């Protein structure tokens, strides 16, 4: 296998720089040279005057690896350059597909690539947009997750993609493991007869401390008395207080045990086996399976092979049936079967009536929680408006925002929403809360009508003749106006027009940052651009600064099991980055609440609490770890991604619980069988896993003993050597 791999690399396609100049023409060549200085000087897959295109040709099929967007280790280069172009080798890759290989069709496999994210007109390509330039007239079939109708819009609109949706992986219940199982058994035994089993008290405390569960579920009575929660202090806690705490802890362990996670990865077109089918149905229905609907979903899941069938039909130029994208747990049979050309929803009907009411309830719960903890209402709440959750929930995040401001949708006769109307203060249970609306690039470009309605709402709120202590929007706008700031009602901020992402994750991935404040500054610099009826990406630094200074709370929805806080880089890069930027401006901690909208339990959870729950039920859970490791290279990559995200949360939110790193090291580095499996299937991913642990120590996030550090250094050096082709033989 090793010999064949190098043979394929040797046979990879090459493009001469003069050929690329001919394919691009003078104007496009000049644009790239202006950005990258030279066509051959980037060092990216370039040898002399030739560009190397990594791939394998099998008959009339060429399987290639899409080039990276920029230079590894230098993501900051992309930050301030509004007229970004792809680098020369990236352009050569797609131009070669068009002109030399002359492909009849291109299939982008997996969510998501980068060509549709390249600079250009955000709503629809022009001839000057890089997606149009590089894809040309190539038919583009795009295999995409059915539960991501948000980003798939971009693949359609800017990548001309015909989507072939695929199913999510089977679900699993987290269960309990290792110390958590032992802790539950100890608690159960103690509660059978607390007087008789009083001797177990110290052992229970030790197990709680060793597992770190006291961070998730603290003993409030001990905190109030100023008594450290240690095994040595166990006898100082009264029977009644300790029994109440154990009951609370037992309930928390039940929550952990029943949380869902994705059990591995999905194989395109593969039908679920009986065990996987049961996991889908139990996740959707619980233990009770209503026969009729369960049979319907079972039948639809047994059409998963349509994914391959319709891919072949698309390659043949045939019609692919459309279907809405969404989440099985939330939307049920409406999103099945997969293998369809998915679409989103009518943005003129957002939020739906149900989403508005659910959003209102969440906003009221967050305000009540904040009032209880702080004794006053927040003046400003930052609301994350992302396309992904907005589409799948039909606008719950908008419902949250509208309740905070004290407004409701107004519909015309056709059911379309034409205005967000301010409700009288007398009808509100709280003051009008100011809002920093942070828009994802997808939301910004897909919901222009909503942005304009929100902008109009904020404008009217600033001019409403109401007391400033009952209308914080007016209060803050008047302060800005007194300073001579233009458009003081601007409240909707995002990345530069036509550009996407905070670039915080680029810095974290490349380890190219010194402090958390630097990451917060990166977020701020990338999100200083205002959107509304008049603003189309104008920089409004004074307004954003004031909103950050007054932000007491941040709120965001999580819309699916698959994309949790610890699963993808975008959460720490955006929500974490905003949190850090606000804390820098305020000089104190800013609380952040998340709502899992896919769940029946929509209780707002604090960031730190949810991170602990996710790490216990996913990254550190042997069931999850084995399910991922068994998926080979892709599973190892997923584990690696989560270790990178752990560093990201450390940088943006100061999340540095040592037990997470301790257990991650035990699970993935010091378990020789697991380590060897990851090393064999994806050596780069294994090196990153170990490297992130060492990075955590270097940044002061984690302080293991020197013996563990030395073992990690040896593992890293060995992994690095094998990647470089040096075979390490252990005596």
Tell me what the pLDDT averaged over the chain comes to.
Answer: 89
Find where tokens 């056709």 sit.
414
pLDDT at 202 over 90: no
Residues 8 and 98 in one domain: yes
Q: What H or E segment, with its residue span, contains residue 488?
A: none
Residues 582 and 507 in one domain: yes
* More reliable by pLDDT, 211 or 17: 17
> Is residue 728 situated within a structural domain?
no
Residues 550 and 660 in one domain: no
Residues 526 and 595 in one domain: yes
Q: What is the mean pLDDT of residues 402-412?
A: 96
Q: Among residues 321, 344, 367, which one ends one of the domains?
A: 344
Residues 53 and 136 in one domain: no
Residues 441 and 579 in one domain: yes
What's the pLDDT score for residue 676? 95
Residues 562 and 637 in one domain: no
Residues 312 and 169 in one domain: yes
Q: What is the mean pLDDT of residues 573-592?
A: 96
Q: Which of 60-69, 104-113, 147-156, 721-730 has the lowest mean pLDDT?
A: 721-730
> Is residue 622 situated within a structural domain?
yes
Q: What is the mean pLDDT of residues 563-567?
A: 89
> Is residue 439 situated within a structural domain?
yes
pLDDT one-digit tens code per residue, 70-128 = 644 444 444 334 467 889 999 999 999 999 999 999 999 977 888 888 877 767 788 88
What's the pLDDT score for residue 5? 29
CA distance 340 to 604: 34
Residues 296 and 230 in one domain: no
pLDDT at 414 over 90: no
Selection from 152, 27, 12 nearest residue 442 by Cα? 152
Domains: count for the chain: 5
> Is residue 401 situated within a structural domain?
no
Q: What is the mean pLDDT of residues 10-27?
A: 87
SS3 sequence of 313-354: HHHCCCCCCEEECCCHHHHHHHHCCCCCEEECCCHHHCCCHH
> Is residue 453 situated within a structural domain?
yes
Range of 266's domain?
129-174+261-344
Share of the chain above pLDDT 90, in %: 60
Burial class for 7, CB neighbours closer than 10 Å (0-12, 13-18, 19+): exposed
Total-model pTM = 0.79
Q: What is the mean pLDDT of residues 702-715?
A: 96
pLDDT one-digit tens code per residue, 471-529 = 999 999 999 999 999 999 999 999 998 888 899 999 999 999 999 999 999 999 999 99
Residues 515 and 538 in one domain: yes
Q: Is the four-CA dihedral 571, 572, 574, 578 of positive or negative sign?
A: positive
H-only helix segments in 37-87? none
Report helix, strand or coil for 72.
coil
Q: Among residues 226, 258, 290, which one ends one of the domains?
A: 258
Q: What H or E segment, with its residue span, contains residue 52?
A: strand 50-53
Q: Among residues 240, 258, 276, which one ends one of the domains?
A: 258
Selection from 592, 595, 646 nearest residue 618 by Cα? 646
Residues 252 and 265 in one domain: no
pLDDT one-digit tens code per residue, 350-364 = 898 999 999 999 999
> Is residue 382 situated within a structural domain?
yes
Selection from 224, 226, 221, 217 nearest residue 238 by Cα? 221
pLDDT at 336 over 50: yes
Residues 578 and 627 in one domain: no
What's the pLDDT score for residue 559? 83
> Is residue 424 situated within a structural domain?
no
> Is residue 463 situated within a structural domain?
yes
């Amino acid at each position: 296998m090793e010999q064949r791999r190098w043979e394929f690399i040797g046979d990879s396609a090459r493009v001469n720089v003069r050929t690329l100049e001919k394919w691009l023409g003078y104007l496009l060549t000049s644009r790239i040279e202006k950005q990258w200085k030279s066509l051959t000087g980037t060092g990216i897959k370039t040898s002399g005057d030739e560009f190397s295109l990594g791939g394998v040709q099998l008959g009339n099929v060429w399987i290639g690896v899409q080039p990276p967007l920029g230079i590894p280790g230098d993501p900051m280069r992309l930050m301030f350059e509004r007229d970004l172009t792809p680098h020369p080798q990236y352009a050569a890759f797609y131009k070669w597909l068009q002109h030399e290989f002359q492909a009849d069709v291109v299939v982008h496999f997996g969510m998501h690539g980068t060509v549709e994210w390249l600079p250009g007109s955000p709503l629809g390509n022009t001839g000057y947009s890089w997606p149009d330039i590089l894809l040309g007239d190539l038919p583009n079939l795009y295999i995409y997750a059915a539960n991501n109708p948000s980003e798939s819009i971009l693949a359609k609109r800017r990548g001309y993609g015909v989507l072939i949706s695929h199913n999510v992986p089977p679900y699993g219940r987290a269960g309990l493991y290792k110390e958590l199982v032992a802790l539950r058994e100890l608690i159960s035994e103690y509660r059978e007869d607390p007087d008789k089993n009083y001797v177990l008290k110290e052992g229970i405390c030790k197990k709680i401390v060793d597992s770190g569960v006291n961070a998730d579920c603290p003993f409030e009575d001990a905190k109030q008395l100023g008594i450290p929660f240690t095994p040595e202090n166990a006898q100082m806690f009264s029977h009644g207080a300790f029994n109440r705490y154990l009951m609370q802890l037992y309930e928390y362990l039940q929550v952990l045990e029943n949380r869902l996670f994705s059990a591995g990865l999905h194989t395109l077109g593969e039908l679920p086996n009986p065990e996987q089918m049961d996991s889908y149905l139990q996740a959707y229905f619980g233990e009770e399976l209503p026969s009729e609907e369960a049979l319907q979903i079972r039948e639809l899941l047994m059409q998963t092979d349509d994914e391959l069938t319709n891919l072949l039909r698309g390659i043949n130029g045939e019609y692919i049936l459309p279907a809405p994208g969404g989440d099985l747990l939330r939307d049920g049979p409406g999103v099945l079967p997969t293998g369809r050309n998915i679409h989103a929803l009518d943005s003129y009907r957002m939020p739906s009536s149900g989403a508005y009411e659910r959003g209102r309830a969440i906003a009221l719960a967050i305000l009540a929680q904040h009032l209880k903890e702080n004794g006053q209402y927040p003046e400003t709440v930052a609301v994350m408006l992302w396309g992904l959750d907005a589409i799948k929930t039909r606008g719950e995040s908008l419902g949250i925002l509208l309740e905070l401001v004290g407004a409701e949708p107004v519909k015309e006769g056709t059911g379309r929403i034409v205005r967000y109307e301010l409700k009288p203060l007398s009808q509100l249970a709280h003051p009008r809360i100011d809002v920093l609306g942070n828009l994802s690039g997808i939301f910004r470009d897909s919901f222009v009508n909503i942005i304009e309605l929100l902008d109009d709402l904020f404008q009217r709120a600033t001019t409403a003749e109401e007391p400033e202590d009952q209308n914080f929007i007016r209060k803050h706008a008047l302060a800005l106006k007194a300073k001579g700031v233009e458009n003081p009602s601007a409240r909707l901020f995002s990345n530069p027009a036509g550009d996407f992402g905070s670039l915080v994750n680029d810095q974290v991935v490349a380890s190219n940052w010194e402090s958390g404040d630097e990451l917060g500054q990166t977020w701020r610099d990338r999100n200083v651009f205002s959107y509304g009826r008049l603003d189309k990406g104008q920089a409004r630094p004074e307004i954003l600064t004031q909103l950050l200074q007054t932000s007491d709370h941040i709120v965001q929805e999580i819309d699916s099991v698959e994309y949790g806080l610890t699963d993808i880089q975008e959460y720490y890069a955006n929500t974490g980055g905003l949190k850090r930027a606000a804390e820098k401006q305020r000089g104190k901690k800013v609380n952040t609440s998340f709502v899992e909208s896919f769940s029946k339990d929509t209780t707002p959870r604090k960031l730190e609490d949810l991170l602990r729950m996710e790490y216990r039920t996913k990254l550190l859970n042997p069931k999850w770890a084995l399910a991922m490791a068994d998926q080979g290279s892709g599973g190892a990559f997923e584990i690696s991604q989560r270790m990178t995200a752990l560093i990201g949360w450390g940088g943006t939110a100061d999340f540095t619980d040592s037990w997470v790193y301790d257990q991650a090291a035990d699970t993935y580095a010091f378990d020789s069988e697991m380590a060897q499996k990851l090393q064999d299937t994806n050596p780069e991913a294994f090196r990153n896993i170990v490297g992130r642990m060492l990075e955590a120590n270097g940044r002061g996030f984690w302080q293991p003993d020197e013996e563990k550090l030395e073992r990690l250094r040896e593992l890293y050096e060995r992994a690095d050597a094998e990647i470089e082709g040096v075979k390490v033989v252990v005596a």
